[in-house]
Amino acid sequence: MYPKLVALDTDWTLFWGWLKVNEWGRGPNAYSPKEDNIEKRNYWEIQDRTNHNVACGMYADVPKIIKDILKNGAKLAIVSRNTSKAMCDRALWHWTVQDHHGKDKRLIDLVSFDEVYDADKTTHFRKIKEWTKFEYSDMIHFDDEAINNNVEMMLGVTFQVSRDQKGLTWENYQQGLEIWRGNKRIHSPWQGLQLNRYPKLKLLGYSGMDEGTIRQLEAGGRRTDTKEAARYGYAMYVADDPRVAIYFNNWIKNAFAAGTATTVCAVYARDGELWDRMNKVTLVNIVNGREVIDSTFQIWVPGWATDIMQKRGSLFATAWSEEDRDRQVAQWGVKKPYVLFARHPNMGGNFPIPNPQRFNELVIYPQIQENLIVVRRMSDNELGSAGNVFYPGKIRDWNITIPQRTRDDFAAHRENIG
């Protein structure tokens, strides 16, 4: 199983160094246009003919990776926000790699889609989808900038980041492919909103949501709202207790614009067997050894480990916090695609669960929403008689991973984790 299209970024993904118009071709006797100042130094490196200190070099595993992409019959795309397509194309013209037949070719000649322009990368992939008719779920993108992971959150393109300017390595490439395959393994075909079309349906819990999100999910899609990134990122937050869902359904109305339309929905896995097999991990909410609440926004500060907190302040910080959360969860032995379970402190006031009892929450990310989830709006009468799914009782059946520090937290609160 292999993607139909593999997209690679340029600077610090395909090669080290920067191809910047304002840095190349500034020495004596420079040519115009700028790209004419790029010359080959050796097999791996190119340099500025007017200043040999300005250079770029293809990463060591890139030739092997490109050969593997082509061997698997996938289309190769270059997807970059570099402001000079001409310079990127010239660099790729200088580098040679082997095609799937073992013949030396200029790298640029092996590229099916050459998307190099300064725009949000969702624009690049929308254009590629328009031309190829491929589904986003059949694409993967390798990039060194976490801020471009919005192609996964918004569209469903599998995203794999390379860190610390190490570029695209064979290990990183294989990790990305395994995540892509994981997304495929949890896919259950969308059959519409009639629940009887899903013979293996499994109730997961309840969620109060705004009308826009509900409509996206009712179309078999994903939540794409980037205005709110809660504790554990852009996701659907689901409660096992319907009373909690009702509480937050009303909370949304008060926290956002007046007149916001919301409804509590029952949230189901289309295929309960797939759900039981997929990756899950349980977290707790402790910061510096104590539970903390941000009283301004009425949002509980996330995570006992700062590695999983959703950072705010800039899109850059938020994007890297998403990647850092994935890395921390992977260190606990759970890899993407995954969902999170959390035990949260009591909200106090008119919260429906007696204080100081904590409540349970399930975090479902967009890739899983689109692949596996179906929702149904609930009436007041149905909510009044709805039962508690009770996540701690599902740990064994749902194959939920429990890190030791989570067990320690439950013990400290004299709670039974099962």
More confident residue, 310 or 278: 278
Q: What rounded mean pLDDT belongs to the chain?
A: 89
Burial class (CB in 10 A: 0-12, 13-18, 19+), 53: exposed
**Residue from 215, 195, 193, 205 nearest 262 by CA:** 215
**Domain segments of the chain: what residues?**
5-185, 195-412
Residues 18-46: tens digit of each pLDDT: 999 999 989 999 899 999 999 999 999 99
Q: According to the model, what pLDDT value does residue 292 have?
A: 31
Tell me which architecture the domain covering 5-185 has in CATH.
Answer: 3-Layer(aba) Sandwich (3.40)
More confident residue, 29 or 165: 29
Token pair for 186: 């949890």
Q: According to the model, what pLDDT value does residue 221 have?
A: 96
Query: Residue 404: what are its φ and ψ, rounded to 5°?
Result: -60, -35
CA-CA-CA-CA torsion sign (29, 30, 31, 37): positive
Cα–Cα distance measured from residue 270 to residue 369, given in angstroms and rounded to the nearest whole number: 10
Q: For residue 257, name the pLDDT band (cuts at 50, 70, 90).
A: low
Q: According to the model, what pLDDT value does residue 286 have?
A: 37
pLDDT higher than 80, residue 144: yes
CB 71 within 8 A of CB 6: no
Q: According to the model, what pLDDT value does residue 260 have?
A: 82
Q: According to the model, what pLDDT value does residue 293 have?
A: 27
pLDDT higher than 50, residue 54: yes
Total H helices, total E strands in the chain: 12, 20
Q: According to the model, what pLDDT value does residue 233 have?
A: 79
Cα–Cα distance measured from residue 234 to residue 153, given in angstroms and rounded to the nearest whole number: 8
Q: According to the model, what pLDDT value does residue 418 have?
A: 64
Kindly give the interhelix angle for 62-71 and 170-185, rounded to the nearest 10 degrees. Answer: 30
Alpha helix segments (H runs only) across 154-292: 170-185, 211-218, 242-255, 272-277
pLDDT higher than 80, residue 310: no
Burial class (CB in 10 A: 0-12, 13-18, 19+), 373: buried
Query: Residue 406: what are its φ and ψ, rounded to 5°?
Result: -70, -40
Across 147-156, 288-297, 391-400, the highest mean pLDDT is recorded for 147-156
Cα–Cα distance measured from residue 169 to residue 58, given in angstroms and rounded to the nearest whole number: 11
**Residue from 186, 203, 201 nearest 391 by CA:** 203
| DSSP state at residue 154 | I
**Residue from 142, 181, 144 nearest 337 by CA:** 181
| DSSP state at residue 230 | B
What's the pTM? 0.89
Residues 318-364: tens digit of each pLDDT: 888 889 888 888 888 888 999 988 888 888 989 999 999 999 999 99
pLDDT higher than 90, residue 5: yes
pLDDT higher than 70, residue 301: no
SS3 content of the chain, % helix, strand, coil (to 5): 35, 25, 40
Q: According to the model, what pLDDT value does residue 345 have?
A: 85
Q: For residue 410, name the pLDDT band (cuts at 50, 70, 90).
A: confident
**Residue from 113, 91, 94, 130 nearest 5 by CA:** 113
- Across 10-130, the runs of DSSP E, i.e. the strands, are 15-16, 38-40, 45-48, 51-58, 75-80, 96-98, 104-106, 113-116
Lowest-pLDDT choice from 19-33, 111-125, 300-314, 398-412 = 300-314
Query: Residue 170: what are its φ and ψ, rounded to 5°?
Result: -60, -40
Q: According to the model, what pLDDT value does residue 284 have?
A: 53
Q: Dmax over Cα atoms in the chain, in whole Å?
A: 81
Q: According to the model, what pLDDT value does residue 157 have?
A: 98
CB 62 within 8 A of CB 43: no
More confident residue, 181 or 233: 181
CB 139 within 8 A of CB 128: yes
Q: What number of other Cβ atoms are within 10 A of residue 52's Cβ?
A: 11
